[in-house]
Amino acid sequence: MIRLDCPYCGLRDHEEFSYIGDATKTRPAHAGDASAEDWFDYVYIRDNPRGPHQETWQHIQGCRAFIRVLRDTLTHEVLATGLPHEDLSAKSGGAS
């Protein structure tokens, strides 16, 4: 079982959360100026990383806040959690 540490509610089972997606993708800065290819890349193209990876989750059965999770995709070990704007890569030595 995966346990996630919500910054507001504390340690909870992953069943209280919903996986939102890859937290490393950057939305095009100026929506009107972005090409169709930029939007296609943002919406559909995802890496399939092996090892530590930053993800966005939402605490749907709690405070409803979005959190950032650094999780090892091989072992499912949660290495760090934080607020959505935090870069958790420094907490694991440079993970994506």
Confidence band for 32, pLDDT divided at 50, 70 and 90: confident
**Is residue 36 classed exposed, middle or buried when 0-12, 13-18 and 19+ CB atoms within 10 A define those classes?**
exposed
For the chain, what are the domain ranges? 3-26+35-91
CB 70 within 8 A of CB 92: yes
CA–CA gap between residue 16 and residue 69 (Å, rounded): 14
Confidence band for 93, pLDDT divided at 50, 70 and 90: low
Taking domain 3-26+35-91, whether its CATH number is 3.30.2270.10 is answered by yes
83-92 pLDDT tens trace? 999 989 866 5
pTM of the model: 0.82
**C-beta pairs of 75-80 under 8 Å, 24+ apart in sequence:** 76/2, 78/2, 78/3, 78/4, 78/5, 79/52
Q: Kindly state the average pLDDT of the residues 54-64.
A: 97
The whole-number pLDDT of residue 92 equals 59
